[in-house]
Chain A
Amino acid sequence: MPKKTLNIVESAYRAVMEEQDDTILWLLAAMQVAGAEHTVVLRGNAVNYAVAGQGVPGLTVGEWKQTQAPKMDRDVLDLVEKRKIPVYVVAEDLADRGIERGELVPGVQLLGRTALPGLFAEYELVAHW
């Protein structure tokens, strides 16, 4: 059995346009394919990844056009639905940013800040990204 790993992700939108995804969520998805067992907690600014209806058409520089621009809500849905990676979103961080529960993609679970330590006991590894 793989080690159950809890990943707290807070970095947001750092390189998503250049990489066409979030490098941490990408890494976790790729590791899951290799047999890892991951859970994701979106906290801080990364809670915005769960907001439905985000994304730009792509970057344009002269004749050069980006054709596969990222959509982070789609990537969060992909984690939940296709890869069966549980995704929690810290409720207080949503509230601080004026984001309502109804704005989020389906399948993500709200988690209170005070519940986070309790979650740690269920995992063999905890990483803060």
Chain B
Amino acid sequence: MSRKTLTIALMDPPYESENLTTAFRILEVAARRGYHINVFAYEGAAGLAFVRQTQHPNPVHGKDVAEENHPTTKDQVAALLAAAEQSGGKVDWVNCGMCVDERGVNEFVPGTRRGSPADFHAFAEASDNVLVIPTK
């Protein structure tokens, strides 16, 4: 059976929407199956792979940084890339360049890259399927 290629477009910014939790669950399954995955991170989602995200303590939970082990989306992006590679697939994660510039989030997780709507078009043309997860 040929290796599938799926494209997912994301729009939500990190830490504000459950859409991203579901998106990462979908991407994780695809990665485990060794699929080739294209991600077009548009608008707020361009911050998902911003590499300067840091964990923080949580005084309300009474936990320090290690105990809280706060999830960062940049760690999830890096883990996704590693999981896909381990299964023989690959992830082409494109951060919309203009979205990145206006937000100042232009330092990415290694293995992700800057791109444009032309990349999303190319992804759609080359994929077995496309899922757009819009913001609301």
Contact = CB atoms under 8 A, between A and B. Distances in A.
B54 interface: no
Interface in A12-34: 13-21, 26, 29-30, 33
Interface string B64-86: 00011111010110111011001
A33 B59 contact: yes
A15 B59 contact: no
Q: In the complex, which range does the number of interface residues on chain B fall in?
A: 20 to 34
Contacts, number: 72
Nearest to A56: B21
Given A17-B21, A21-B61, A63 B68 contact: no
A61 interface: yes
Interface of A: 13-21, 26, 29-30, 33, 59-64, 66-68
Contacts of A16: 18
Contacts of B28: 60-62
Interface string B29-43: 001100000000000
Q: Secondary structure at chain B's binding surface: helix, strand, loop or mixed?
A: helix
A6 to B, nearest CB: 20
B86 A62 contact: yes
Interface in B1-50: 14-18, 20-21, 24-25, 27-28, 31-32
Contacts of A66: 69, 71
Contact of B70 (A20, A26, A59): A20
